[in-house]
Chain A
Amino acid sequence: MIVSMFSGSKGGVGKTTIAISMSIVTALQGVPTLLVDTSMDGSATGYLLGSNVEPPYLGDLDFVDGVSLRSVLRRVPIIEGNGAELTIAVNGNQKSLKNVGAVAEALKRLGEFPMIVVDVPALADREAVLRYYPIYEAADVIVAVAEPNTVSIRSAVMTFRGKHVVAALNCPRPYTALFIDLYRKYMDIIHRNYGIPYVVVPYSKTIGLLGGDTIGHFGGNKLNIVKNTEPAYVQAITELVKLVLSKK
Chain B
Amino acid sequence: MPKFPFGLKRDNKSDASVPDFFDQVEQWKTTGSEEAVNEPSGSQPVATQPQQAPAPQAPQPAPQQPVKPAQAPQPVQGYIQPAVSAPASMPVAGQPTNVGQVPTARPAPQPVQPVQPIQPVQPVPSQYVAPQPAAQPVQQQAAGETAVDQLVELAKVLGMDSLVANWENLKKFAAQLDEEEKKMQKELEELQNKLNLVRMTRELLRRIGI
Is B truly associated with A? Answer: yes
Whole-angstrom distance between the Cβ of A125 and the nearest chain B Cβ: 5
A246 interface contact, C-beta 8 A: yes
Contact of A137 among B24, B36, B71, B83 (CB under 8 A): B71
Question: Once the chains bind, are A158 and B73 in contact (CB under 8 Å)?
Answer: no
Contact of A111 among B6, B18, B131, B196 (CB under 8 A): B196
Contact of A193 among B18, B74, B188 (CB under 8 A): B18
A190 interface contact, C-beta 8 A: yes
Contact of A99 among B64, B76, B200 (CB under 8 A): B64
A220 interface contact, C-beta 8 A: no
- Give the chain A neighbours of B89 by CB distance below 8 A: 195
Number of interface residues of B (CB under 8 A): 69
A194 interface contact, C-beta 8 A: yes
B16 interface contact, C-beta 8 A: yes
A222 interface contact, C-beta 8 A: no
Question: Once the chains bind, are A125 and B64 in contact (CB under 8 Å)?
Answer: no
B88 interface contact, C-beta 8 A: yes
Given contact pairs A185-B12, A245-B80, A159 touches B100 in the complex (Cβ within 8 A): no
- Give the chain A neighbours of B85 by CB distance below 8 A: 246
Question: Once the chains bind, are B5 and A67 in contact (CB under 8 Å)?
Answer: no
Question: Once the chains bind, are A242 and B37 in contact (CB under 8 Å)?
Answer: no
Number of interface residues of A (CB under 8 A): 65
Please give me the residue from chain A that is nearest to B94 by CB atom: A159
Please give me the residue from chain B that is nearest to A115 by CB atom: B80
- Give the chain B neighbours of A218 by CB distance below 8 A: none
In the assembled complex, the Cα of A164 lies from the Cα of B71 at a distance in Å of 12
Whole-angstrom distance between the Cβ of B15 and the nearest chain A Cβ: 7
Which A87-120 residues have a C-beta within 8 angstroms of B? 99-101, 111-112, 114-115
A203 interface contact, C-beta 8 A: no
Question: Once the chains bind, are A129 and B37 in contact (CB under 8 Å)?
Answer: yes
- Give the chain A neighbours of B77 by CB distance below 8 A: 1, 114
Contact of B196 among A112, A138, A194 (CB under 8 A): A112
Which A114-149 residues have a C-beta within 8 angstroms of B? 114-115, 123, 125-127, 129-131, 133-134, 136-138, 140
- Give the chain B neighbours of A65 by CB distance below 8 A: 185, 189
Question: Once the chains bind, are A186 and B8 in contact (CB under 8 Å)?
Answer: yes
B29 interface contact, C-beta 8 A: yes
In the assembled complex, the Cα of A36 lies from the Cα of B29 at a distance in Å of 26
Question: Once the chains bind, are A191 and B73 in contact (CB under 8 Å)?
Answer: no
Please give me the residue from chain A that is nearest to B36 by CB atom: A9
- Give the chain B neighbours of A136 by CB distance below 8 A: 21-22
Interface residues, chain B, with chain A CB atoms under 8 Å away: 1-2, 4-6, 8, 12, 14-16, 18-25, 28-29, 33-34, 36-38, 63-65, 68, 70-71, 73-93, 100, 127-131, 185, 188-189, 192-193, 195-196, 199-200, 203, 207
Extra contacts, 16 of them, besides A1-B76, A161-B23 (Cβ < 8 A), are A100-B64, A112-B195, A112-B196, A130-B64, A133-B21, A157-B18, A159-B20, A185-B12, A189-B8, A194-B90, A194-B92, A241-B83, A245-B82, A246-B85, A248-B82, A248-B86
Interface residues, chain A, with chain B CB atoms under 8 Å away: 1, 6, 8-9, 30-32, 65-67, 70, 99-101, 111-112, 114-115, 123, 125-127, 129-131, 133-134, 136-138, 140, 150, 154-155, 157-164, 178-179, 182-183, 185-186, 188-197, 241-243, 245-248
Residue pairs across A and B with Cβ atoms less than 8 A apart, 20 shown, are: A65-B189, A101-B65, A111-B193, A112-B195, A114-B80, A125-B128, A126-B37, A129-B28, A130-B29, A150-B5, A182-B5, A185-B4, A189-B15, A193-B16, A195-B89, A196-B87, A245-B76, A246-B85, A247-B73, A248-B73
